[in-house]
Amino acid sequence: MGHLTFATLTRLSGALLMTWLAGCSEYQASTPGVSAAGQASERVGTPPSVAAQLAAAPRAVETRMRPVAAAVAMSATPKVGQVVSGTYRWMADWPETHSVHQWEAASGPTRIRVVARAREMMPSAGLRGVRLRYCVKPVMGTGAARLTGHKTCSGWTTVEGAGAAGVAG
Protein backbone atom coordinates (compact mmCIF):
# COMPACT_ATOMS: atom_id res chain seq x y z
CA MET A 1 0.00 0.00 0.00
CA GLY A 2 2.83 2.42 0.87
CA HIS A 3 4.56 1.87 -2.49
CA LEU A 4 1.29 2.49 -4.35
CA THR A 5 0.69 5.73 -2.43
CA PHE A 6 4.25 6.92 -3.10
CA ALA A 7 3.98 6.10 -6.82
CA THR A 8 0.64 7.91 -7.06
CA LEU A 9 2.02 10.99 -5.30
CA THR A 10 5.08 10.96 -7.54
CA ARG A 11 2.94 10.81 -10.70
CA LEU A 12 0.62 13.51 -9.40
CA SER A 13 3.44 15.89 -8.46
CA GLY A 14 5.12 15.27 -11.82
CA ALA A 15 1.87 15.93 -13.65
CA LEU A 16 1.27 19.13 -11.69
CA LEU A 17 4.80 20.30 -12.42
CA MET A 18 4.37 19.59 -16.14
CA THR A 19 1.03 21.40 -16.13
CA TRP A 20 2.59 24.41 -14.45
CA LEU A 21 5.66 24.50 -16.72
CA ALA A 22 3.88 23.85 -20.01
CA GLY A 23 0.60 25.55 -19.21
CA CYS A 24 1.40 29.22 -19.68
CA SER A 25 3.63 28.97 -22.72
CA GLU A 26 1.35 26.55 -24.57
CA TYR A 27 -2.03 27.86 -23.48
CA GLN A 28 -4.91 27.21 -25.86
CA ALA A 29 -8.19 28.86 -25.03
CA SER A 30 -11.33 26.78 -24.69
CA THR A 31 -13.26 26.59 -27.94
CA PRO A 32 -16.76 25.21 -28.46
CA GLY A 33 -16.82 21.62 -29.68
CA VAL A 34 -13.29 20.79 -28.54
CA SER A 35 -12.85 18.92 -25.29
CA ALA A 36 -10.21 19.84 -22.75
CA ALA A 37 -8.70 16.37 -23.15
CA GLY A 38 -8.39 16.96 -26.90
CA GLN A 39 -6.73 20.32 -26.36
CA ALA A 40 -4.39 18.97 -23.71
CA SER A 41 -3.32 15.99 -25.82
CA GLU A 42 -2.45 18.32 -28.71
CA ARG A 43 0.17 20.09 -26.62
CA VAL A 44 3.65 19.12 -27.66
CA GLY A 45 5.29 16.83 -25.11
CA THR A 46 2.26 16.52 -22.85
CA PRO A 47 2.07 12.98 -21.44
CA PRO A 48 -1.36 11.26 -21.52
CA SER A 49 -1.58 11.33 -17.71
CA VAL A 50 -1.28 15.13 -17.75
CA ALA A 51 -3.87 15.36 -20.53
CA ALA A 52 -6.32 13.36 -18.42
CA GLN A 53 -5.76 15.60 -15.40
CA LEU A 54 -6.22 18.73 -17.50
CA ALA A 55 -9.50 17.33 -18.80
CA ALA A 56 -10.67 16.80 -15.23
CA ALA A 57 -10.05 20.40 -14.15
CA PRO A 58 -9.72 22.73 -17.19
CA ARG A 59 -11.20 25.71 -15.32
CA ALA A 60 -8.53 25.55 -12.61
CA VAL A 61 -5.76 25.52 -15.21
CA GLU A 62 -7.24 28.50 -17.09
CA THR A 63 -7.54 30.46 -13.86
CA ARG A 64 -3.89 29.88 -12.98
CA MET A 65 -2.76 31.09 -16.39
CA ARG A 66 -4.53 34.44 -16.31
CA PRO A 67 -2.25 37.45 -16.84
CA VAL A 68 -1.19 39.37 -13.75
CA ALA A 69 -0.33 43.04 -13.32
CA ALA A 70 2.15 43.17 -10.44
CA ALA A 71 3.85 46.07 -8.67
CA VAL A 72 1.17 48.54 -9.79
CA ALA A 73 2.27 52.09 -8.97
CA MET A 74 2.42 55.69 -10.18
CA SER A 75 5.52 57.11 -11.83
CA ALA A 76 5.53 60.07 -9.42
CA THR A 77 3.39 61.84 -6.85
CA PRO A 78 0.45 63.27 -8.80
CA LYS A 79 0.54 67.08 -9.07
CA VAL A 80 -1.95 69.43 -10.68
CA GLY A 81 -0.98 70.16 -14.30
CA GLN A 82 1.78 67.52 -14.49
CA VAL A 83 1.48 64.21 -16.34
CA VAL A 84 1.73 61.10 -14.19
CA SER A 85 1.95 57.57 -15.62
CA GLY A 86 0.71 54.27 -14.29
CA THR A 87 3.37 51.59 -14.06
CA TYR A 88 3.18 47.83 -13.52
CA ARG A 89 5.01 44.61 -14.27
CA TRP A 90 3.33 42.34 -16.86
CA MET A 91 3.36 38.71 -15.75
CA ALA A 92 2.25 36.29 -18.48
CA ASP A 93 3.89 34.31 -21.27
CA TRP A 94 1.76 35.88 -23.99
CA PRO A 95 2.12 39.55 -24.92
CA GLU A 96 -0.24 42.15 -23.58
CA THR A 97 -3.05 43.22 -25.94
CA HIS A 98 -5.73 45.62 -24.70
CA SER A 99 -5.36 45.99 -20.94
CA VAL A 100 -7.86 48.28 -19.25
CA HIS A 101 -6.31 51.33 -17.52
CA GLN A 102 -8.17 53.68 -15.22
CA TRP A 103 -7.52 56.33 -12.62
CA GLU A 104 -9.84 56.44 -9.62
CA ALA A 105 -10.37 59.44 -7.34
CA ALA A 106 -11.82 59.36 -3.83
CA SER A 107 -12.95 62.64 -2.33
CA GLY A 108 -14.47 60.90 0.69
CA PRO A 109 -14.30 57.57 2.50
CA THR A 110 -16.79 55.81 0.20
CA ARG A 111 -17.20 57.86 -2.98
CA ILE A 112 -14.85 56.53 -5.66
CA ARG A 113 -15.14 57.69 -9.26
CA VAL A 114 -13.18 57.01 -12.46
CA VAL A 115 -11.47 60.21 -13.65
CA ALA A 116 -9.37 58.88 -16.57
CA ARG A 117 -9.13 55.76 -18.74
CA ALA A 118 -5.55 55.79 -20.04
CA ARG A 119 -2.10 54.84 -18.82
CA GLU A 120 -1.19 58.51 -18.34
CA MET A 121 -3.22 61.37 -16.91
CA MET A 122 -2.81 65.00 -15.89
CA PRO A 123 -4.66 65.92 -12.68
CA SER A 124 -6.79 69.05 -13.00
CA ALA A 125 -7.16 71.74 -10.33
CA GLY A 126 -10.42 70.09 -9.27
CA LEU A 127 -8.45 67.04 -8.07
CA ARG A 128 -6.14 69.02 -5.74
CA GLY A 129 -6.27 67.39 -2.29
CA VAL A 130 -8.21 64.36 -3.58
CA ARG A 131 -6.88 60.83 -3.17
CA LEU A 132 -5.96 59.19 -6.48
CA ARG A 133 -4.92 55.68 -7.54
CA TYR A 134 -4.02 53.93 -10.80
CA CYS A 135 -5.68 50.60 -11.66
CA VAL A 136 -5.08 48.10 -14.47
CA LYS A 137 -6.93 44.98 -15.58
CA PRO A 138 -4.46 42.91 -17.65
CA VAL A 139 -5.67 41.43 -20.95
CA MET A 140 -3.95 39.11 -23.41
CA GLY A 141 -5.24 37.62 -26.64
CA THR A 142 -8.30 38.52 -28.68
CA GLY A 143 -11.64 36.96 -29.54
CA ALA A 144 -12.11 33.42 -28.22
CA ALA A 145 -8.49 33.41 -27.01
CA ARG A 146 -8.95 36.59 -24.92
CA LEU A 147 -8.04 36.10 -21.29
CA THR A 148 -8.31 38.80 -18.61
CA GLY A 149 -6.69 39.00 -15.22
CA HIS A 150 -7.96 40.65 -12.08
CA LYS A 151 -8.01 44.42 -11.59
CA THR A 152 -5.05 45.54 -9.49
CA CYS A 153 -4.52 49.06 -8.14
CA SER A 154 -1.73 51.20 -6.72
CA GLY A 155 -1.99 52.70 -3.28
CA TRP A 156 -3.94 55.90 -2.74
CA THR A 157 -1.91 59.13 -3.08
CA THR A 158 -3.16 62.68 -2.50
CA VAL A 159 -2.92 65.03 -5.49
CA GLU A 160 -0.65 67.97 -4.69
CA GLY A 161 -0.80 71.53 -6.02
CA ALA A 162 1.40 72.56 -8.95
CA GLY A 163 4.16 73.66 -6.55
CA ALA A 164 7.41 75.41 -7.42
CA ALA A 165 8.12 73.14 -10.39
CA GLY A 166 4.81 74.12 -12.05
CA VAL A 167 5.33 77.87 -11.41
CA ALA A 168 8.97 77.99 -12.53
CA GLY A 169 8.23 76.12 -15.83
Q: What string of pLDDT tens digits covers the 169 residues of the chain?
A: 555 555 555 554 554 444 444 444 333 443 344 444 444 444 445 455 544 544 444 454 455 588 999 999 999 999 999 999 999 999 988 888 999 999 999 988 788 999 999 999 999 999 999 999 999 999 998 888 888 999 999 999 999 987 644 444 3
Which range marks the domain in which residue 149 is found?
Answer: 68-162
Q: What integer pLDDT is reported at residue 51 of this predicted model?
A: 47
In this structure, the answer to whether residues 154 and 99 fall within a common structural domain is: yes
Q: What integer pLDDT is reported at residue 142 of this predicted model?
A: 84
End-to-end Cα distance, the chain = 78
- Report the distance separating Cα 153 and Cα 135, nearest Å: 4
In this structure, the answer to whether residues 86 and 20 fall within a common structural domain is: no
**Smallest Cα–Cα separation from 65: which of 88, 40, 93?**
93
Q: What is the pLDDT of residues 143-164, one digit of tens each?
A: 888 889 999 999 999 999 876 4
The total number of structural domains that make up the chain: 2
Q: What integer pLDDT is reported at residue 84 of this predicted model?
A: 98
- DSSP-derived 3-state class of residue 35: coil
In this structure, the answer to whether residues 124 and 144 fall within a common structural domain is: yes
- Structural element, H or E, at residue 4: helix 2-23
Residue 112 lies in a domain: yes
CATH of residue 154: 2.60.40.2700
Tell me phi and psi for residue 114, to 5 degrees: -85, 125
Q: What is the pLDDT of residues 89-109, one digit of tens each?
A: 999 888 889 999 999 999 887
Beta partners for residue 90, in sequence order = 69
- Report the distance separating Cα 74 and Cα 116, nearest Å: 14
In this structure, the answer to whether residues 75 and 144 fall within a common structural domain is: yes
**Smallest Cα–Cα separation from 138: which of 62, 68, 65?**
68
Residue 169 lies in a domain: no
- Report the distance separating Cα 105 and Cα 36, nearest Å: 42
Q: What integer pLDDT is reported at residue 68 of this predicted model?
A: 93
Residue 168 lies in a domain: no
Residue 89 CB coordination number (10 Å): 10
Its pTM stands at 0.60
